[in-house]
């Protein structure tokens, strides 16, 4: 009887001590490189890690990347339009720790700053 009780306690502890999913987080990424990366513990409602990319269809090249935690129901691609310019958002989701592809910054600071200024200038010219 004691063995059965210990087995039940052990099984319960496994469910109670389950750690949340951990994802790579990228708040802002440009040209395929994350400018501000970290790790994130997902909430109970966020059961997937994701990598997202938003591309403006007018440029075909320039886009923004993000990564982090997301609910499975939000792991869908979408399109939209802002001031007549269409965009596509592509999300790739996975469900294991640190599986999102948020790359760390390997760009020199001057290159990253130049890219950010270029995006800002382009956005101001378009809108």
Q: Residue 75, class by beta-carbon neighbours within 10 Å (0-12 exposed, 13-18 middle, 19+ buried)?
A: middle
pLDDT per residue as tens digits for the range 11-58: 544 444 568 999 999 998 988 788 888 999 999 999 999 999 998 877
Report d(CA 112, CA 127) in Å as an integer: 23
Q: What pLDDT score does 122 carry?
A: 47
Whether the predicted pLDDT of 110 surpasses 70: no
Q: What pLDDT score does 44 carry?
A: 92
Q: What pLDDT score does 61 carry?
A: 61
Q: What pLDDT score does 97 carry?
A: 94
Q: What pLDDT score does 63 carry?
A: 81
pLDDT per residue as tens digits for the range 68-104: 999 999 999 999 988 888 889 999 999 999 998 755 4
Confidence of residue 1 (pLDDT cuts 50, 70, 90): low
Q: What pLDDT score does 33 carry?
A: 86
Q: Which domains does the chain have, with CATH numbers?
A: 21-126 (2.10.60.10)
Q: What pLDDT score does 108 carry?
A: 47
Question: Pseudo-torsion of CA 103, 99, 87, 46, nearest 10°?
Answer: -130
């Amino acid at each position: 009887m004691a063995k059965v009780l210990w087995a039940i306690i052990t099984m319960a502890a496994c469910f109670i001590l389950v750690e949340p999913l951990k994802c790579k987080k990228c708040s802002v990424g440009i040209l395929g490189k994350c400018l501000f990366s970290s790790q994130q513990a997902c909430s109970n409602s966020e059961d997937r890690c994701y990598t997202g990319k938003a591309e403006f269809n007018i440029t075909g090249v320039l886009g923004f990347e993000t990564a982090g935690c997301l609910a499975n129901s939000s792991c869908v691609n979408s399109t939209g339009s802002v001031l007549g310019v269409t965009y596509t958002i592509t999300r790739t989701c996975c469900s294991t720790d640190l599986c999102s592809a948020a790359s760390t910054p390997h760009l020199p600071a001057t290159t990253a700053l130049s890219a950010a200024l270029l995006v800002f200038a382009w956005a101001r010219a378009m809108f």
